[in-house]
Amino acid sequence: MEAKLIKTEEEYTNALHRIDELFDVTPDSKEFNEVELLIALVELYEQQHYKIEAPDPIDAIKFRMEQMGVKRVDMAKFFGTRGRVSEILNRQRQLTLTMIKKLHKEFGIPAESLLA
């Protein structure tokens, strides 16, 4: 396969099929270099055409709470009071920098997601 930028959906689909064909090649082979290049080209195409936006901060918090089995009442240690928890999770109050730092540290939520 000729190495070139992927510009169309058809080229993108063809590159994905070729990657599937080469999936189990050995690292020292010529095909391995081809698959590495194709993966880089596919990633570039996806960055340009399939951008993934950062999640809403409150949605990210609620998602992580659900994943970890954390209840609203447990969030008071991050937000201060139960009333503040309600205000934050109902989007009536903004997150503070202190809250963002605690959530990032304790829940592993990317700070970029919380700052949006």
Share of the chain above pLDDT 70, in %: 98
Q: What is residue 49's predicted lDDT score, i.e. its pLDDT?
A: 93
pLDDT tens string 31-52: 999 999 999 999 999 999 988 7
Region of residue 90 (left: phi > 0; alpha: psi -120 to 50; beta: else): alpha
pLDDT tens string 13-30: 999 999 999 988 888 888
DSSP one-letter code for 57: H
Cα 66 versus chain centre, distance: 17
